[in-house]
Every structure is written in structure tokens, then in C-alpha cells.
Amino acid sequence: MPRWLAAALFAFAAFDATAELQLRIAETSPALPAVLTADEPIFLRIEFSGAEKSNLWARPYYRGEPVMQAKTNTSLQHVGSGSALAWFSLDRESQVDEVRIRTGGGSPYRETDVLRFPLEVRGTGQHGEQRPRAQWVTDLTRENEIIRRELRSEERSRNSPLDMVIFSGFGLLVMGFLAVNVVGPLWAMWKWRGALRVIGILPLPVMAFVVGRIIVDTSHDPTSHNLWPFEILMVGGGGVALYFLLGVIRRVRGGSA
């Protein structure tokens, strides 16, 4: 089946799931076919209509499978009609023969692939000088940043002093738990000996794994860890409890390890 026909059938099938949302890829930068250096983005200008607080993300695929070693865009919520900026980049040597535009939003909230666009992109996996961006990329990037600043300003204006205190306290708690699980193992390596030293080091690789997973997963899907502070709190709370227990053990032993 020709790719253009498969794309048309897919778009038709996704129509009901996305209400009246209509998309088309108007331009890419650089032009297709494209060869990208490591982490060099390819930008897509998406013309949309019928959006209802819809996010739009680009996901690269090759032979029907997602390209895992890639970074993709975050998205503002789009309403009505206009132009949206999406992009992806390739971390390693790889190929892409299709980009799928994924959308999320509406009430009730849902996510789905709404558009498949065949393209030819190859990643070299080698670092090099990135080419200049098209003017429309610069313009849309500037517009998006202005909107983000306005949204942050509106959010701050809606928060009461009590909200700010609670939010700040929660942030400090998250950072405090993270710090304990980093500084604690370093202190254990420096000051403790024997079994307590080995046990005291354990929270560091555990926390490193959790934070690393959050970074990697959100680079592929920005919505995959919407509650990441609570993940830090849960894992970090275990580390804090462990150090409290180890402190009690050392105190019972008279401070010896």
C-alpha cells in the first residue's frame, strides 16, 4: 500500500477519536530528505484547526517501531486553528521513515496518534555544526516563549500567599530528600566503615536510577512523569528512614561503625 494512502486511512480512522482536530505538516527545517548530526533537531510546522486545548508532539518511527534514541518536543495547549512547532532529534546513528503526531487534551483527557507523515531522515550519531534554522522556526519559537512567559505570570498571579508558601515548602522538601540521598552516601563513604558503610551507600545508586529514568522517559514523552516530585519523595523518604535507622544503630553502638 502506498505510504500516502496509509497515512490518509490512518488520519480518517483517528478522526472520531480526535473530534474535529485536523492537522497537516506544512514545512520541515531542514528540508527533506535530511541528514542530522547528533542532537540536531528537525522542525515541523504543523497547521491545525479544531483544536480543543490539544497538545501536539512529534514521535519518530522506523519500520513501524518507535526510534528510542531520540528527543522530542514539549507542547503548549493549542486552541482553535493556527501553526504549531514540533521537532525531534536523534542521539545516535539511526534512521526515521515516519513521524507520528500525537495529541492529548480535551474533556475527558485522552491521547492518540492523529497523523502519520512519511519522511526520510538519517542521524549520523556524530557531533557537528548545526545548520541555521528557517525563519519560521525562529518566529514560532519566539511566539511560544512569549506565551509561556504569559502563562507563568498568570499562574503566579492566581496563587495566594498561602499557596506560594505551601508550594515553596513542598519544593524544599523534595530538594531536601534528594540532598539527603546524595550527601548521606558520600558521608557514609567518608566516615563509616564495615557493613554500615556499604548499606549507607545504597540510596545513591537508587536515587540516581530514579532521576535518570525520569530524565530519559520525559525526553521521549513529556507526560510520562507528571508526578515526578512524588517519585523523588517516595524514594527519598526511604533513604531518609534508612539513615535514621543507621543513626540509631550507631548511637546504640556508641558511635562506632
Position with higher pLDDT, 34 vs 7: 34
Helix (H) or strand (E) holding 10: helix 3-14
Q: Which of 46-55, 120-129, 184-193, 216-225 has the lowest mean pLDDT?
A: 216-225
pTM of whole model > 0.85? no
pLDDT of residue 223: 65
How many residues does the structure list for the chain? Answer: 257
pLDDT in tens, 65-119: 999 889 998 888 888 999 999 999 999 999 999 999 998 766 677 778 999 999 9
The predicted structure's pLDDT at residue 14: 45
Q: 96: which strand partners?
A: 121
